[in-house]
Amino acid sequence: MDKLMSPLLYSLKQGFEALKSIRNHISEANLPADFPRAELPPLSEDAKAELLQLLAPLEAYRIEKLETKLSRKKWAKRLGWLVCLPALVFDLISLASNNDPTILSLIVLAGILMWVQLPEMQYKRHYKYKILPVLLKKLGDYRYSPDSCVNLDSVADFELMPRFSKQQSEDHIRGKVEDISFEFCELTLKSRGSKSDKIQFKGGVVIMTMPFSFESHTVVSQDYGTLGNTMAGIKKPRVKLESVTFEAMFEVYSHDQHYARYLLSPAVMERLVELEQLFRKTARGSGLSIEFKANKVLIMASYFGNLFDTVDINLPTHDMSKIPQLQQELVLITGIIKQLKLDYLAAQNLATQQTLERIKTIAS
């Protein structure tokens, strides 16, 4: 799908996603009061004590980085113009000389802003490395790696996977839910352009390896309206589902309508809607897409923020008010995996029982 789209169509697609994000933010307030929310496992006193023990040594580091940031911010305000002004003059001279317009002033300004924000970024990164492994250990047998990536080769032929020449990844989580292996990471995919690299995807990617193969190739993509859906280029037949909330957000395509409806049970649709809304709210998300193929599930959540950078450098490290938000995001990532597994086992068990009953009926 995305890999076949021209840069113009991809830009239009992103525009549809942005408009959809605005629409969903507005409609979110109209969700019913009993709309399902992820249940957070309560932290035990031992877990809280372990977290506080990890956070205590970070306080001196936080104060050091906060002071560095404030000092850089002060110097940037005082002397930043000495760097930005010559760059702006150069841009104006280049424009007046009918040369190719330059953006040197914007590059310089971005560099100054990065220099000011770097201490805070370093603190957030260090905080994550300490906290995420502990939270993951409380949720299950999961492992955290700060800079590695999901196995993109395993989903290279998926329709949702765009073509790219460069990749950047962080916050790699992997583990098993019963006998389902899964990986998650935050990922940026870029392709080479004539003047600069173009971002083809930015967000979170989940790859699940199931203990069975899906009977049909099914794609769940964002609903971009009639024109946008046509531009997306998916040629599989569209599947109509009963959930009004889910239908308002997604388009489903599959060659097997019956199997797609079985696959996207009400519980799975509720989880996907919840996951979509969490990404939109906490990471400035612009869309969630899912593909079921062979024994893999690919979930691509497009967003502009950083899902796990919720810590505030201005708050003392013993303030654990951001921990529930980190838990919420981790629980939803693992929750959709558990829900798919439970639904599959229940359906398989029912099918087995029905088969046995038929055999008994025939035998009698």
CA distances from 93 to 15, 106, 107, 109 (A): 34, 15, 16, 18
For the chain, the average pLDDT equals 77
The alpha carbon of 342 is separated from its chain's Cα centroid by a whole number of angstroms, namely 23
pLDDT band per the 50, 70, 90 thresholds, residue 23: very low
Share of the chain above pLDDT 90, in %: 15
pLDDT at 317: 83
Residue type for position 298? L
Structure token pair of residue 210: 């199931």
The contacts of residue 321 (CB under 8 Å, 6+ apart) are 315
Does the pLDDT at position 42 exceed 70?
no
Per DSSP, the residues of 272-283 read HHHHHHHHHHHS
Q: Please give the pLDDT value at position 101.
A: 66
Q: For residues 333 and 315, which has the higher predicted lDDT (pLDDT)?
A: 315
pLDDT digits over 136-170, tens only?
A: 877 777 888 888 899 999 999 998 998 888 999 98
Per-residue pLDDT of 207-220, as tens digits, reads 999 888 888 899 99
Range 100-117 average pLDDT: 85
pLDDT at 1 exceeding the cut of 70: no
pLDDT band at 22 (very low <50, low <70, confident <90, very high): very low
Beta strands in the chain (DSSP E): 142-145, 166-177, 180-191, 198-209, 218-222, 238-239, 250-254, 285-293, 296-303
Contact between 15 and 7 (Cβ < 8 Å): no
Range with top average pLDDT, 15-19, 151-155, 338-342: 151-155
Query: Whole-angstrom Cα distance, residue 239 to residue 254?
Result: 7
What is the pTM for the complete model shown? 0.72
Q: What is the pLDDT at residue 64?
A: 93
Asked if the model's pLDDT at residue 35 lies above 50, the reply is: no
Q: pLDDT by residue (tens digit) across 261-302? A: 888 888 788 878 877 877 777 666 777 899 999 999 999 988
Q: What residues contact residue 257 under an 8 Å CB cut-off, 6+ apart?
A: 237, 239
The C-alpha atoms of residue 314 and residue 362 are separated, in whole angstroms, by: 72
223, 234 contact by CB (below 8 A): no
**Separation of alpha carbons 14 and 45, rounded Å:** 45
Above 50 in pLDDT, residue 67?
yes
Q: Between the CA of residue 50 and those of 38, 131, 135, 226, 350, what are the distances in Å?
A: 24, 10, 10, 52, 43
Q: 259-269 in b/e burial notation, b at 16+ Cβ within 10 A? A: bbbebbbeebb
Q: What is the mean pLDDT of residues 339-362?
A: 70
Cα(320)–Cα(18) distance, integer angstroms:
33
pLDDT band of 30, cuts 50, 70, 90: very low
Cα 204 to Cα 284: distance, rounded to the nearest angstrom: 12
Tokens in use for 113?
A: 């802003």
Pairing of strands 142-145, 166-177: antiparallel
Radius of gyration of the chain from its Cα atoms, rounded to whole angstroms = 24
Pairing of strands 285-293, 250-254: unpaired
Sign of the CA dihedral with 113 first, then 114, 116, and 117 last: positive
What pLDDT, in 10s, does the model give residues 246-265?
888 888 988 888 888 888 88
